[in-house]
Structure 1
Amino acid sequence: MVKLYGKDLTRHEAEALSGGLGHAAGVRSMVLDDGLERGIRMLEFRTGTGLRFTVLVDRAMDIADCEFAGQAIGWHSPSGFRHPGLHEYEGEGGLGWMRSFSGLMITCGLDHILFMYDAPADTYVYGPRQTASHSIHGRIGTIPAKLTGYGERWEGDRCFLWAEGVVSQGTVFGEHLELHRRIEAEVGTNDIRLHDRVVNRGFYKTPHMFCYHINVGHPVLEEGARYLAPVADVVWAAHADSYDRQGVGYRHLPGPQLDFHEQVWQHEMAADSAGEVPVALVNDRLGLGLMVTTRKDQFPCQYEWQNLQSGQYALGIEPATNHVLGNAAARERGEMTWLMHGDERRYDTTFAVLPDAAAIAGAEARIAAIAVQPDTDYPAPSGNHRPIGGRS
């Protein structure tokens, strides 16, 4: 059944109410046409519950806007949703990526994440290229996708909105990786389901690293918002040498700050019996939150990013394939994923809007049943970056 406007409807009943489902829900294509965004292809999804989100086809099919019942969830940064043709990957010493950094979700990878690094390029068998130069968080997030399809699909009396595309990251004498992305949202629900498949189309042994930079903004993020996660261990904090200087711990969020320096943690997350790791940011005052559920075997690591600077106010949930130690450490520790021709890795993630206090309570209970997070805002980092197994 499709749940619309408080009623459970069969497909026949839903179709009898209007000339098309689009009066209540649907996915449609449009093109942005002004300023830095001009020329970007975009898909708009509406599930009929008040959930609306947009997918930037020309920005790796990442999720830009996200709102529920008119309340924003996704983050808008000063950079805006910049057209990829304006992007300068190597600019500003590798920090040019920041000028295209905005939205609910930015994909990082496909062969590098985290800070800038010149990686050995010997596997590409090309003398003039001794190193592969990586800017922060990799190239994939500003590459346009080939849109292979979108629309609505009925399965009996259930209706699913969907889109698929392929993003290709390739060069001569270097990597040739593809991101195959499928996004789904069932009509009458508050969930966004993301299915990614990264494939090595090339014939060189190629490194693979992957991360989602999931950014929640105001009003979900405001003074009093809470970060909920099955934290088994606080592994690392970038600001550990001045841990409480800014007066912001990992659990409770303040309002926007002046002259705030970003804070980043890596948490070791526990998983439930199905191997899933749910993490949420919740606003009890509004009765609104967002929960992101990943798989521990796909994303063994997770970071928490706090950018609480006025005008840039955001909280980041970042599932990742590798420790925050970076590219060099992944190689040295034997934790880099190496893909041969035809090898692939899959990633399955659910974004769930928590629309009321009951949903928040349910999410909190689910998370606490997996692991009870530290009850202090400044838990001492253990430094224990657990070995990541199963890599090839």
Structure 2
Amino acid sequence: MTPDRRRLAELTGDLSAAGGVRLVTLGDGLERGIRTLEFRTGSGLAFDVLVDRCMDIGHAEHAGRAFGWRSPTGFRHPGLHENADEDGLSWLRSFSGLVVTAGLDHTLFGGEVPADGYRYPPRQIVRHGLHGRVGNIPARLTGYGERWEADRCVLWAEGEVRQAAVFAENLRLIRRIEADLGGDEIRLIDTVTNAGFEPAPHMFLYHINLGWPLLDEGARFEADIRETLWQTDSVAEQKADHLTFPGPAPGFVEQVYEHALVPGEDGMHRVAVVNDRLGMKVSVEWPAAEFPYFFEWLNLRSGNYAVGLEPSTHHVSGDAAAREDGSMIWLGPLESRVYHTTFRVS
């Protein structure tokens, strides 16, 4: 419990004794040059916002125990990213951290779709890589700091990410991240706007990646699943449990599930990973109306050990299928959509 505003002022001349937000720049290796906001709530919750990586959340821990996944790639500077490399799979060379955003006009596997809506004859098609472009675009940092609301202190950051080209999409993401001083939750509020004047396709997904030590043999996945709509062939081949997780295994092939979740009476979807041995639980909730679909990703390979929780605007079949079946979201000129997601550690 953090003291109230007056008592805290009596105890220390600097709020950073209790927590806060600090802007730093990473200085070595593949991460060199990435602006990072370090959040510390004072409860034991600490996490990094990677300003130059779509303001995604990289490292995350509670009481010194990490729960955000760290892959072998590190937090690679976006200037090193080549979107169309490796047949669109180059996204996997930048894939690490608690939250990696997919979109804004495409999610899931790559491919080609018609570009006739942009009315530029030389651009006949749009080529997409895995999970789109936005996760490797730097943000314009518009503000960060600490704000008192009576005796509640909110740590916050906000920035703008632009995904745009001449004669193509002009999409903007305004991302706001909040956490309370003394609190154990992260609030993510995203507003996606078509800043152009032609209808723009919009798909959006959060790759929420949980790793060791939260993820370990015996850790559990909790969700109110009505039905599993789809799963990869590797599920039947490997038969790894997706509710109580095994430990890492060499050569494990990713298992992916699309689950239809049952929303609570308040219209919220809720999922969690629980480690009873640590007495630690990380839960995620969001309005079902904003992200109707959900994927569970099991990457239990040795050296890449992770579980992904993935709220999504669309089914697993991707861009071309969404256009064909009419489920694609088309944002009109200056039209916006807002997304609210909360992470809790207990």
Look up the match of 2:73. 79
Look up the match of 1:360. none
Q: CA offset at residue 333 of structure 1?
A: 1.3
Residue 12 (structure 1) aligned to one of 6, 23, 27:
6
- Rounded to whole Å, the distance in 1 between the matches of 2:119 and 2:248 is 49
Contact 2:235–2:255 (CA under 8 A) maintained in structure 1:
no
1:42-70 alpha-carbon deviations (Å, 9 max, x no partner): 00000010000000000000000000000
1:68-105 alpha-carbon deviations (Å, 9 max, x no partner): 00000000101110000000100101000000000000
Look up the match of 1:333. 325
Letter of the aligned partner of 2:34 in structure 1? I
Q: CA offset at residue 341 of structure 1?
A: 1.0
1:260-307 alpha-carbon deviations (Å, 9 max, x no partner): 000000000111121101100110000012101011100000000000
Look up the match of 1:94. 88
Residue 164 (structure 2) aligned to one of 159, 170, 174:
170
Is 2:256 the partner of 1:274?
no
Q: CA offset at residue 249 of structure 1?
A: 2.3
In structure 2, runs of 5+ residues without a counterpart are none
SS, match of residue 331 in structure 1: helix
Look up the match of 1:238. 232
Is 2:222 the partner of 1:228?
yes
Q: Please, what TM-score do these two structures have when normalized by structure 1?
A: 0.87
- Rounded to whole Å, the distance in 1 between the matches of 2:168 and 2:332 is 13
Letter of the aligned partner of 1:76 in structure 2? R
Within-5 A mapping of 1:281-360 = 281-354=273-346
- Rounded to whole Å, the distance in 2 between the matches of 1:117 and 1:244 is 26
SS, match of residue 110 in structure 1: coil
SS, match of residue 203 in structure 2: strand
Within-5 A mapping of 1:1-392 = 3-4=1-2, 9-239=3-233, 243-354=235-346
Q: CA offset at residue 244 of structure 1?
A: 3.9
Aligned residues: 346
- Rounded to whole Å, the distance in 1 between the matches of 2:135 and 2:146 is 26
Contact 2:26–2:36 (CA under 8 A) maintained in structure 1:
yes
Q: Which moves more between the two structures, 267-276 or 145-154?
A: 267-276
Letter of the aligned partner of 1:284 in structure 2? D
Letter of the aligned partner of 1:93 in structure 2? D
Q: CA offset at residue 206 of structure 1?
A: 0.7
SS, match of residue 294 in structure 2: strand
Q: CA offset at residue 39 of structure 1?
A: 0.3
Distance 1:243 1:145, change over 3 A: closer
Q: CA offset at residue 247 of structure 1?
A: 3.3
Q: CA offset at residue 119 of structure 1?
A: 1.1
SS, match of residue 184 in structure 1: strand
- Rounded to whole Å, the distance in 1 between the matches of 2:315 and 2:11 is 52
In structure 1, runs of 5+ residues without a counterpart are 355-392
Query: Identical aligned pairs, as a percentage?
Result: 55
Letter of the aligned partner of 1:23 in structure 2? A
Q: Please, what TM-score do these two structures have when normalized by structure 2?
A: 0.99
- Rounded to whole Å, the distance in 2 between the matches of 1:311 and 1:243 is 20
Contact 2:224–2:262 (CA under 8 A) maintained in structure 1:
yes
